[in-house]
Structure formats: structure tokens, C-alpha cells
Amino acid sequence: MVLNEISTMLRYLSKRNAALQGDYNSIVQILNKRHFSVRKKININCRCVSLSQKRRIGTENPSHIIKSKLQDIEIPNITITELLWEKVDKFADFTAIECGITGRKYTFAQIKKLSLRFAASLLKSGIKPGETVAIISQNCPEYPIVTYGCMEAGVVITLINYMYTPDEICHQLKDSGAVCIVSAASLINSAISAIGKVKESSKSNKPIKLLALDTIKEEIPSGVERFTEMIADDVDETKLFSLRPKAINTSDVSILPYSSGTTGLSKGVQLSHRNIVTNLLQLSAATDIIETTNDYQEIYPAILPFYHIYGFTTIMASCVYTGSKIVTLPKFEPNNFLNVLKTHKCSILNVVPPLILFLGSNETVKREHIQHVRYITNGAAPIGQIDVERLFQKIPKETNCVFQQGYGLTETSPLLCINVGNEDITAIGTPVVNTLLKVVNVEDGGSLGPGLNGEICAKGPQVMLGYHNNSKATSATIDSEGWFHTGDIGYYNNNGRLFIVDRIKELIKVKGFQVPPAELEEHLRSIPGVKDAGVVGVPDKRTGEAPIAFVVQTSKNPATKDDIKSFISQKVAPYKQLADIVFVDSIPKSASGKILRRNIKDMYLKAVSN
């Protein structure tokens, strides 16, 4: 019946658009193949509603609402630090965090004590509750002390990518209204330059305080206060509550990370204490992380940046809640990363696709590096079945290592779904507790049943309060019924398990048909001789857009263009075939592992125009 309905619709569409007529027969042939999965391979919507347009509220079928398979839990009305400090006494003398390079470390008891000292010093320096403090730093053992200290002081934290240029830092400082920057000593010059740019472009003469996150008495410019002095033994943390007499409201904004989206400048995402507390409890209910005992402690390598919500919630905050040990690395450097995995016998890996590709494909990664790993979570971007299987060939079977896909966004603190188990690793799983999901038609907003591609929408106490200083973007993302529109295209099966197809704005429109780049990328990475790949759509006079593949070849037996075209021709419909293949040394990606398609597209169009 489904095939007949799609065939009828295609006939209707082809009559309306002559450009589709030539593809009709080939599409029907593919539909009739026994192995063809309708829900994975075709999306018959011919256009997507812009996220900048007002959300339409379509017909909602209660049977189309997807709920967690676990029972909902009660969310306590407490702050993030109240939740974490409840657990700290249980693990007081265990190592909470250690630098994977220098060995500098703190116990859980020290994290709490130093956080309270920093909070008291921050308020004593003139920072007021409700104001915003920016953190610019690589991962280091002091990062959580600064973070939880700010929370105890009642100030909002805006997390800044340490790789940003002064211009990018300036935008975030201005938009967030930050009155203070806590900067790694090595990044002080960038912070000073950004402050200068704020003064040049702003009418306000209000100064921005600068604190150096120093650890070994590094040389810093005069007039810059030192973090080490703000947590010194002579700081009386008991003065905190007289300096901050008002209790912190759990609905207040706690952190203000910035989400880049697919177009325009990044937007501040307002996450409250309740948002993060909820997500920590949701994560705990969904996973099998062992709370620290006298005999056992989970160990996480922290290669995911703490400024990103994925690393912030699922490593930095979650590990305090479970008593797990964090081993920090300032950046990804293969030898240091592998040394940490081996030396510290890491048991939990929270990673992104590039790290899975590295662990599975790099010849320097041996059994000894990952023999203690028992849990691997992939997030931030989809990963293919073949890439995961390649990694698991190196992991000893006796460890019974579990792989899971997580799904979420900065706007959802981040976790929405998790897929635990190795049965179908391409799924993003089912909703976490206290969360509702649905898939809607991108044309009319109506809810869709199983197997139909549409936009994934979510409701739950982990969904952001809104975008900072941007009510227009907020109303375009959260509709009048409270559903958050993710901008991701996906579908769910009869068991309520979700699958991601692609981003709405990343779909390539070929003769009116939508081509998900992620689908082509997974096929490309499965080709012998292909190490990595990225696909973008470029303007085409005949088809509207055309898919172009950027491919990184392996050093041994690299795949040729003919190899790739021959392989892809057997895997996808005619309208999904690659118009061109470009060999490159690497695929541009963000710190969280997402392919920077705009960069690839701009690079290609510039090369063509020349």
C-alpha cells in the first residue's frame, strides 16, 4: 500500500514538474526492489520550510507521539552544584580530574572547596549575581573549578571556543554582555584583543574584567588578576553566602553556550539549572555507568572540549555526579591520546565520528590502548555501521564493550535520545525519560507515523529557555505548543526507535528530490581505498543542485574516481548519483566532529569560478 501511495504521488509530482518526468520510471523500479527501504531511501517532500519562517502547527495524532520506554522520574528543584555536591562526600578523597600531560590533579573534595573559594573571590571582586562571565580555555583540571565557582556565585557562564579569533570572541562577548573573562594564560593576548574590539564597536564604556587561569605562575600582563590567588588558602569560602545572600532560582539561566547553526552568526542558548540537572538525571537513568566504590572507578579521557555542551554535560558534570575520574587533554594529539588510554586504563569513551574513524583505521591504535574500554558513546554527528565494526575488530570480545549512539543538541542540554546496545547502531534510539518526540511533515507541520521522513521535534524539561536576545529565532524554533523543532530530518520505526537522515538545510535538492549528504558519505566511507568523505550540493542549471563528493584517499591502494562512481551507481537511485568527485587531504570539521559543509562548498565554488 505504501508503495502504491508513493507511486501515485510521484506521478502527480511529475505532471506538475516536467523536470521530474525522466526520473519517474527509474524511481519506481527502485521502489519495487525487494531490498529497498522506503523510509531510508526517499523523502517525497519537494521543499522544506525555512527555519526562519514561523512554525506551522499541524494536526497532531496522539499515536504519533514517541515516549521513553523507561518510567519518568521526579526532577528535584535544586541547582546544578547542589545536585553535584550531594554526591561529593561519597567520593571525597578519590581523584576527580587529572591533566593527561602534566599529571596535575584534584580530588572531589578539593574541587568543591576551591569552587566555593573562587565564587567568594569572584563576588568580592565586584562581579554581581546574574552577570555573565566568559570562560576561554582548553580542557584542564581547573575548568570545573571555574565553572562551579561561577555557578555558586550565581553568575551566568558563557562558554567560548578557545580556537576563536578575537573577532569571534568579540561577537560572543558583546551578545552575551559578559563583564568578565576567565582566560587560559596562553590565550590572554586573544582575550585582550577581543576586549579592545568590544570597546571599539560598542557605545558602552563599562570595562570587562580579565582573569588569567594560571597554574604555574606564568607571566601575565600587568593589571590581570590571577586565578591562583582567587583560590589561595587565605580565601575564606564561608563568606560566600553573605556575599550572595539571595538563593539561586533553578529556572535562572546558568550557562550560555553558543550554537552556530547552519547560517549566520552563532546564537546564545539559555540553559537553566533545571535544564542541566534534568539532563544529568536523564543520562544516569539511560546508561550503565558504575558509581565509584572503594574497589572501582570509571575513567574518562576528556578529549571532547568542555566549552561544547556534549563535553560539558556528559563528561565534566556527569563525572562529578558518578564519582568518575576525568583525564584531560588540551587538544587532540594522537600520541598523547593513545598514551592516556593505555596508561590510565580508560573505561568510558565519549567520542565524535572523527575519533571513531581514528581508532578504527589508524594503524598505531592497538589492542593495548582500548582493552579496558567497556562503553563507547558517539554523539554530535552520525557514524556509519562499517566505521563502528572496524573499531570493534580491535576491541577484545571478552570486555563485552557496548556501543551507543546519543542524539541531542546544544538547545536540549544536550541529550534527547540514546540507543544502548549493539543490535542496530545506525539508530539514535528512543527518547530518554521525561521526554516526548514526534516527527512532523516539513510542509504542513502534521505529525507523521512510522517510516516517514520528517522533522524531529521534542518536548521535555531539558529544552532551553530560548535564544539570548533573539526572540525571533526562539519563536521560529519553539512553536506555540512548546515543541522544539530540531532542524533534523529523521523517522522512527514501529518500535519507536529513531533514525537521523540529515539536516533540513543540508539536504541537497536534485530535480525536486531531497538527497541526504550523510547517506552518500556513509556509502563513500565503506569503499576500499576511501578514508573519509564529505558531500555537498552545488548549483546546477539542469537539476537545481547536484551532489559533489570530497574524498580523502587511503595511502595504500587509493580508490579512483571510476572505482567510486561504479560503487555508488549500484547503491543509490539515479538522482542521488555524484556529479563530481574531488580528492582532498582532509575534510574540514568542527571541534565536535561535524562536517563544515559551507567551507567545502565555498572552496569548490571558488575553484570552479577560477
More confident position, 336 or 207: 336
What confidence category does residue 548 fall into, taking pLDDT thresholds of 50, 70 and 90?
very high
pLDDT for residue 33: 33
Q: What is the mean pLDDT of residues 141-170?
A: 94
CA count, 13 A, side-chain hemisphere, 154: 18
- Is residue 37 a contact partner of residue 47, using CB atoms and an 8 Å limit? no
Q: Are strands 156-160 and 132-136 parallel, antiparallel or unpaired?
A: parallel
Beta bridge partners of 532: 552
375-428 pLDDT per residue, tens:
999 988 778 888 899 999 999 988 899 999 999 999 999 999 998 765 678 889
Please check the confidence at residue 39 and state whether its pLDDT lies above 60.
Answer: no
467-492 pLDDT per residue, tens:
999 999 999 999 999 999 999 999 99
Q: What is the mean pLDDT of residues 552-571?
A: 94
Determine what percent of the chain is predicted with pLDDT higher than 90.
66
Domain boundaries, the chain: 80-486, 509-609
pLDDT for residue 511: 73
pLDDT for residue 13: 38
Please check the confidence at residue 77 and state whether its pLDDT lies above 50.
Answer: yes
- Is residue 192 a contact partner of residue 210, using CB atoms and an 8 Å limit? yes
What confidence category does residue 258 fall into, taking pLDDT thresholds of 50, 70 and 90?
very high
435-444 pLDDT per residue, tens:
999 999 988 8
Q: Which CATH class is domain 509-609?
A: alpha beta
What confidence category does residue 50 fall into, taking pLDDT thresholds of 50, 70 and 90?
very low
pLDDT for residue 212: 97
Q: What is the mean pLDDT of residues 499-503?
A: 83
Q: What's the CATH number for 80-486? A: 3.40.50.12780
Q: What is the mean pLDDT of the chain?
A: 87
Residue 563 neighbours by CB under 8 Å, 6+ apart: 527, 529
Q: What is the mean pLDDT of residues 82-90?
A: 95
Reference 65, options 428, 439, 490; nearest CA is 439
- Is residue 505 a contact partner of residue 263, using CB atoms and an 8 Å limit? yes
